[in-house]
Amino acid sequence: MQTETSRVEAFSDGMFAIAITLLILEVKVPTPQAGRLAAALLRQWPSYVAFLLSFAYIGIMWMNHHRMFTHIRRSNDTLLLLNLLLLLGVTAVPFPTAVLAASLGTPDQRTAALFYNGVFIVIAFFFNVLWRYAVSHRLLDEKLAASAAMISRQYAAGPLMYVLCFLLAWVDVRVSLGVNIALAIYFALPPALMKRS
């Protein structure tokens, strides 16, 4: 069924697809000067970690964007602008991913992890602003009010949890990345499942 938000969703899907595809461009093919191929591929482990983490994040952001727009039935200029701000954050993800990949295992890994987590704090903020605006301006399907309330509760934790990851990066980058993985799993879970558990 065609809805008032179908163009917003189609444009957003395209932006998510581009951002997630760009991530792999930072995983480089080792040159012959890098030595034996197997060893050179193993030395690129930071690129694999950063790629997989960001791939999961963008994929899960896309899932949550889809969940939001299952509930959002009407749009206006402010909603379009807020959605663009969210997409600005999403399309920026390949850059901090590349910085993290280049810096893991080096003295700059803390700075890279802080930068990486900082970008996700901004994205979580934009997600919440977009959702809260849609809720407060009654742009949602009224028949889905109960599941919308569950989404609101789940999203409220996002910015605080990303701030925690940011702070943990000061202490231990590995712990920060571990919590990032746990966050990705948390936001992948449907809100209804969270309520049952």
Over residues 85-107, the pLDDT tens digits come to 999 999 999 999 999 999 999 99
Alpha-helical regions (H) of the chain: 6-22, 37-43, 45-71, 77-92, 94-103, 109-136, 145-171, 173-188, 191-196
pLDDT in tens, 11-26: 999 999 999 999 998 8
Averaged pLDDT, 157-173: 93
CA distances (Å), 18 to each of 13, 54, 86, 113, 133, in order? 9, 13, 14, 23, 26
Can you tell me the distance from the alpha carbon of 159 to that of 186, in angstroms, rounded to the nearest whole number? 13
> What local confidence, expressed as pLDDT, does residue 194 receive?
54
- Predicted pLDDT of residue 82: 97
Residue type, 160: L
Question: Would you state the pLDDT for residue 191?
Answer: 66
Sign of CA dihedral 52, 189, 63, 155: negative
pLDDT in tens, 30-72: 888 878 899 989 998 989 999 999 999 999 999 999 999 999 9
Residues 118-125: what's their mean pLDDT? 95
Percent of the chain whose pLDDT exceeds 90: 67
Task: Give pLDDT, residue 192.
Answer: 63
Per-residue confidence (pLDDT) for residue 193, from 0 to 100: 63
Among 1-5, 112-116, 133-137, 142-146, where is mean pLDDT lowest? Answer: 1-5
Query: 169-179 as b/e, with b when 16 or more CB fall inside 10 Å?
Result: beeebeebbeb
Distance of CA 12 to the CA centre of its chain: 13
Quick one: pLDDT band at residue 1, thresholds 50, 70, 90? very low
Measured between alpha carbons, how far is 132 from 12 in angstroms, rounded to an integer?
A: 18
pTM of the predicted structure, to 2 decimals: 0.87
Token pair belonging to 153: 């509760």
